[in-house]
Amino acid sequence: MTQRHASLVAVLLLPVFGAAAAPADLSVPKVDPSESILSEYVPQAAPDPNPPPYTLLRYNERYDYLADPRNRGDWFDPIKYIPLSASDQQSYLSLGGELRERYENLHQAGFGTGPLPNQSYLLQRIAVSADLHVNQRLRVFAQGLSGLQFDQQKQAPSVNQNPIDLQQGFADYIFGDPSPEGPRLTARAGRFEMSYGSGRLVATRAAPNLPFKFDGVQLIGASGAARFYLFAVRPGQENKYRLDGENDGQDFWGGYAVLPTGGRWPTTIDAYYLGARYASATYIAGTASELRHTVGTRLSGNSGGWSYDWEPVLQFGRFGDREIFAWTLATDTGYTFRSLPWRPRLGFKADIASGDTRGPEGRFGAFNPLYFKSGYFNDASIIRPTNVADLHPSLQLVPAKSITATLAADALWRYSVKDGVYGPSGNIELRSTGGGSRYIGNTAEAAVDWKPGRHLACTVSYVHLFASDAVVAAHGHDLDYLGTWVAFTW
């Protein structure tokens, strides 16, 4: 990290510890730092937090509770609620932002088969946002973003290098009851981020400098904790050194419903349809236009020490002149020993995503994960969830409220030996040999997250992939990843 970066980070960190010492009204419930800090895998705020946690989807945060001066205890509260009317506390402007410095080092990236197998660089992301609540019904949100990659700039992908861009800019209008409890219908138009469920198919892509964004319209129906979304959008087209436009080679539309249930085992049921059109898509089988329909459901919840997240998905449509039939099943099940020191959680993920089994003939079977979250299997983002199966045990420990440590291993196989291994962006990392072993390799993973206050999150993550004999025979190699990042959010 350069001296300029270190100085900037140091200046921004001063208010973190100052905020902890600021006077606060004890009648206002506070969110623990482990729950209130920005997380790459928690897309939405808690149901009724106070103060609200910082989230990836910053427009989900509400700050009208700061209309009461007794609720103000944070250094940034004066800019989180700027009243625009003396008579209407729902008319206000809220300002926010993020500074993230992220260092990544990859040895034998893409199994060492790509043009740049060894990579070492610093990523910097600066985001600023303005959330204007004209009144209870009309709201305008805008977010500007600067993403820079230092070192190996010429090879930097467009998702890491764009000095200035409009990440989000949209208007909302609420029909019905404008209170958070609803029932209400929100109409949204413009450029916005989306994240549904666990982010397996639609997410913000938080690890690179520039997250996913979409241009179009969205309807959001809400009643209590239930939600229903309808949208028709085009993904943003990432451009280096100029403002991004919409990608007219892709269309994305669908509906997503979320219904929480009660009972002894409270479960949240998601059900959805997602449609996507690509003017050009590339797989081992070749390049062609693609029309893909996705239907799925997700069951998630927790009871006692148990937690679970299961998601079966089917896909159909056409790839070129071939009919598509693809599928995936993703599961995440764990148990937390709450009464033991460090609250250990034993977790087990099992995933399988179909690949193309018939070569150029018959149905096309490669699963398309659409706009999935970064770090799908681990922070190294080695493999795209296409033509892959894995078994992923983990152990999570919480030695202190602000510290979480994770140890994990992951065994990976190809679903079909006739299909290849794909990188996160859809690039082909290892081609099919037409036979041989399905085994890709296994990973050893370790990560530590430290959240010392509401505004600051620090992470160190290491992943080593032990390549299988089949991968080595295809001229692949073991892979090492080291990443560390600091995010300061306000």
Residues 6+ apart with CB under 8 A from 368: 276, 281, 290, 292, 294, 315, 326, 386
For Cα atoms 366, 334, 440, give the angle at the middle one, nearest 5 degrees: 35
Confidence (pLDDT) at 371: 96
pLDDT, one tens digit per residue, over 427-455 is 999 887 666 789 999 999 999 999 888 89
Confidence (pLDDT) at 50: 59
Residues 6+ apart with CB under 8 A from 371: 201, 202, 203, 205, 212, 235, 252
Higher-scoring residue by pLDDT: 374, 372: 372
**pLDDT higher than threshold 50 for residue 22:** no
Question: pTM of the full predicted structure?
Answer: 0.87
Confidence (pLDDT) at 44: 41
**pLDDT higher than threshold 70 for residue 382:** yes
The full set of domain ranges for the chain reads 3-489
The average confidence (pLDDT) of the chain is 86
367 with 414: CB under 8 angstroms?
A: no
Confidence (pLDDT) at 46: 40
Residue 419 to residue 401: CA distance in whole angstroms: 45
17-23 own/partner pairs: CB under 8 Å, 24+ apart: 17/453, 18/75, 19/73, 19/74, 19/75, 19/76, 19/453, 19/454, 19/455, 20/453, 22/73, 22/74, 22/75, 23/73
pLDDT, one tens digit per residue, over 299-347 is 999 888 999 999 999 999 999 999 999 999 999 999 999 999 999 999 9
Residue 337 to residue 194: CA distance in whole angstroms: 33
pLDDT, one tens digit per residue, over 198-248 is 899 999 888 899 999 999 999 999 888 888 999 999 999 888 887 888 888
Question: Going by CATH, does the domain composed of 3-489 fall within 2.40.160.100?
Answer: yes
- The residue count of the chain comes to 490
Record the tokens describing residue 177, joined without a space: 């009851």
Residue 486's pLDDT band (boundaries 50, 70, 90)?
very high
Residue 30's pLDDT band (boundaries 50, 70, 90)?
very low
